[in-house]
Amino acid sequence: MKRLEKLAEAAASALLRCESVRVISHNDADGIASAGLICIALKRAGIPFHATLVKRLDESVLDMVEPPVVFCDMGSGKPDLISSLDGDVFVFDHHRPVGELDCIHVNPHLVGVDGAFELSASGAVYSVVRQMGDNVDLAGLALVGALGDRQMMIGANRVILDEAVDASVVETRQGLKMEDGPLDLVLEMSLDPLLDITGDLGKVREFLDEVGVHGDLPHLEGKDLSRIATALVLKILMQNSFAADSVVGETLRLRKEIVENAFEFMWILNSCGKTGETGLGLSLCMRDGRVLDEGRKLTADYKREILSEIVLFQERLQETEHIRYAIMDDIESTGIVAGLGMRYLYTDRPIIILNRTKDLVKVSARGNRFLILHGLDLSIALKKAAESVGGGGGGHNVASGAAVPPGREEEFIRCVDQIVAGQLKLRS
C-alpha cells in the first residue's frame, strides 16, 4: 500500500495542475464508481471535467478525447492505443498490465497487489483522490466498485474499509448481504445469492413459512436472523454451490452516500451500466438523490430480464471435458449470467458464454478461486483462443472477455477447451 500511495501521490499532483480533465471510464459498477470518485474530487478541486462511460476502449473512444484525459477501469491492457495520445494521460486501472505505458499509471499489479481479488479500479482511483484533498468520505464508493467486481474485503480493500470505518464513513455489521426491504420481496428478486426459489414469490413465501421468519431487512436480528441465515446457507449448499459467503456475513452501510446499502448501490450501478443509463448511475455516485427512485425501478426491471436470460442459458448449456459453454443470441448480460452460473449452478468447470450480435460474437468467461488455484487463467485462455480465430480478448484470470468473428464460435470453443485443459493439467 505504501508503494501504491507513492504512485497515487504523483498522479494526484499532476492532476491538480490540469486546467480541465476529460474522464473516460468503463460502464460497469466498478467503472461508474471510479468515474464518480474522480469527478467529485475534480469538482472539489475546482477543475472542470467532462465524463463519458463506455463499454470498451478502442479507436472510436480516442477520436473523441483530447488530453488531459483520465482512463478509469481500462487502459492497462492497451499500450498501443494509450501511447497514440499526445499530452497528459492518466490510467487508473486494475486489469493486468500488458507491455509498458508511457503515461501516469496507477495499477495495483504494479506494486504486487492482486487486482482481480484485492483492489478494483475504484480502489485505485480512491488511492489517487485521497491525495487530492480531504476525500476520505468517498471511501464508500471505492468499496461499492469492489463489490461490483465480486471482490472480497481483503488486502488493499480491507485497508480502505478499515479507514472508512475509522472515519465513520462506513458502518459494518453482521447480517444478510442483500438489499433492504420486506424479506419475501427481497428473496423473490435475489440474484446474488441466486436461489432455486428466486423469481417465484409463492415458493419464497412457502420457504419463509417453513423457516418461521418474516420481517424487513436490515432489521432482522437475534434468533430470526440466525434462523433465516442458516436456512439460506443450507439451501445454497443443496444447490452444490459453495458461495455461502454471499448470504451472510459483513454488511456495509454507507453513511455518506444516498444509497445506504452497499449491495443495493452496486446493483443499481450495474443496472445503469447494462441498460445504457450511465449518466443516471454517475449522478447517484455524485450524490444526486433526485434520480434514486428512477434508479431503483430500472434495477428491478433489469433483474427480471436477467432471470429470463438465466433460464435461457440453462436451456442452451453444453459442456466439454474441461469447460461449460452456451451460445446465445443478442442478450444483454453475458457477464452477470456467466458469473451467477459459476457461483451458484455449475462450479466445477469454467463457464463461457458466447453472445452473437449482428456483426460480432461477444464472449464472457468466469472461473472461481478453486479453479485459479489449480492453474486456470481465463485471461490467457481467451486472449490466445480469440486471436487464433481473428479476434481479441483478455481481462483477469478469474473473469475475462473476448470478441470473435461470427462463424468461428465452435473453433474458438475448441481452442479454449484445449488451453484450459493444459492449464489445469500443468498445475495438477
Strand order in the sheet with 89-92: 49-54, 21-26, 69-72, 89-92, 104-106
Same domain, 82 and 146: yes
Same domain, 205 and 159: no
Same domain, 109 and 207: no
Same domain, 140 and 46: yes
What is the distance between the alpha carbons of residues 425 and 233, in angstroms, rounded to a whole number? 32
199 in helix, strand or coil?
A: coil
CA 153 to chain centre: 14
**What integer pLDDT is reported at residue 133 of this predicted model?**
96
CATH number of the domain where residue 335 is located: 3.10.310.40
- Count of beta carbons in the 10 Å neighbourhood of residue 358: 6
Note whether residue 428 is domain-resident.
Answer: no
Note whether residue 15 is domain-resident.
Answer: yes
Out of 264, 285, 308, pick the residue that ends a domain.
308
Number of domains in the chain: 3
CATH number of the domain where residue 38 is located: 3.90.1640.30
What is the distance between the alpha carbons of residues 26 and 285, in angstroms, rounded to a whole number? 14
Kind and range of the H or E element at 206?
helix 201-211
Note whether residue 239 is domain-resident.
Answer: yes
Walking along the chain (428 residues) 10 residues at a time, the average pLDDT comes out as: 92 98 97 98 98 94 94 95 94 93 95 93 98 98 95 95 98 93 95 90 97 95 94 91 84 97 96 95 97 96 94 94 95 90 92 94 93 94 96 91 95 97 78
- Contact between 63 and 34 under an 8 Å Cβ cutoff? The reply is no
Is pTM beyond 0.75 here?
yes
**What integer pLDDT is reported at residue 427 of this predicted model?**
58
Note whether residue 169 is domain-resident.
Answer: no
Same domain, 31 and 118: yes
Same domain, 13 and 93: yes
Out of 164, 184, 199, pick the residue that ends a domain.
164
Same domain, 366 and 257: no
Cβ-based burial of 88 (10 A; exposed 0-12, middle 13-18, buried ≥19)? middle
Out of 308, 341, 375, pick the residue that ends a domain.
308
49 is in which domain, residue-wise?
A: 2-164
